[in-house]
Amino acid sequence: MAHRRDLQKLYTVELFILLGAMAAVIYTIDAGVLSIVEGMVILAVISVAELLVEAHITG
């Protein structure tokens, strides 16, 4: 079981990763590289991966 301070660090890192991924996906959609559906799929995959890591760490 992770300690409260460790969980706060984990959540902070997850937030920055998610915000960075969102910014990158929005930029590539705006540039015409990805379609909106492809961008949403990428964000969904990143979100699920973060949830799996969080579940593994927290037990």
End-to-end CA distance of the chain: 6
What is the pTM for the complete model shown? 0.72
What are 5-50's pLDDT values in tens digits?
A: 777 888 888 888 889 888 999 999 888 888 989 999 999 999 898 8
- Write the single-letter amino acid at 58: T
SS3 string, 11-50, reads HHHHHHHHHHHHHHHHHHHHCCCCCHHHHHHHHHHHHHHH
Please report, to the nearest 10 degrees, the dihedral formed by the alpha carbons of residues 50, 53, 56, 57 taken in order.
-100
